[in-house]
Amino acid sequence: MRFRAYSVHLFTAVGASLAMLALLEAAQQDWAMMTIWLTVAFIVDGVDGPLARRYDVTENAPIIDGALLDLIIDFLTYVMIPAYALYGSGLMPGWSGWIVVLLIPFASSLYFADTRMKTADKSFRGFPGCWNMVALAMLVIEPPWWVILALVIILSAAQFLNLKFVHPVRTARWRFLSLPIAIVWVAAIAYAAWTGFAPNPALTTVVMVTSIYLAVAGIAQQVIYDRGYAR
């Protein structure tokens, strides 16, 4: 059991190497390969949590702080590299790119240190700094720069608001819907990167619809259940 528990930590640490691969591709402005590595890192991050709980890494592998390890890697793959992608990809020209590349790490560093990040139902309190999802969706959708800027400002503020955002794996409520939608989102992003972000209206629609659901599902649950409109 101890061997398996420490193996989970090693598996989590693979995310740091994947972050470096994504960063190297971003430096070469190969956004498709960057996306593929970030997608793989996203899958690793989705799998290591259930493994950590299954093998009780806190009890069986206590030398390494799994939560801290996860946060370090998440800050690379969820925040720093996606912020640079929005800046360097040409989606955000001029001064708008500077705002995005400075605001995202600033707000997210405070959020990642917030002790109130998780709610009782395993959702996130505030936008969970999933800028990788934002950046990759923007590479597919390619909206006007001002739409991206407005979205970044709104989501940065939402990190500090009492709004719920679902965790597709851990939030039990609507998981039967949230998890398959998250899987569809990952598959759509991976396919878009595999095809070099070639124009594909159907794929763009899938990314838009799944992104909107994942962004508002937790808030909808707050309105419907937390305010007593349903049980």
Q: What is the pLDDT at residue 147?
A: 96
Q: What is the pLDDT at residue 225?
A: 83
> Beta partners for 118?
124
Hey, how many other C-beta atoms are within 10 angstroms of the C-beta on 148?
22
Q: What is the pLDDT at residue 226?
A: 74
Locate 28 and state its tokens.
């070469």
Over residues 97-126, mean pLDDT? 93
Hey, how many other C-beta atoms are within 10 angstroms of the C-beta on 67?
11
Find the helix or strand (DSSP H, E) in which 125 lies. Answer: strand 124-125
Cα separation of 80 and 77, whole Å? 7
Sorting pLDDT into bands at 50, 70 and 90, what band is 230?
A: low
Give, in order, the Cα–Cα distances in Å from 124 to each of 140, 194, 203: 25, 31, 28
Over residues 89-105, mean pLDDT? 94
Q: What mean pLDDT, rounded, does the chain reach? A: 92
Tell whether the model's pLDDT for residue 129 goes beyond 80. yes
pLDDT in tens, 196-210: 999 999 999 999 999
Percent pLDDT > 90 in the chain is 78
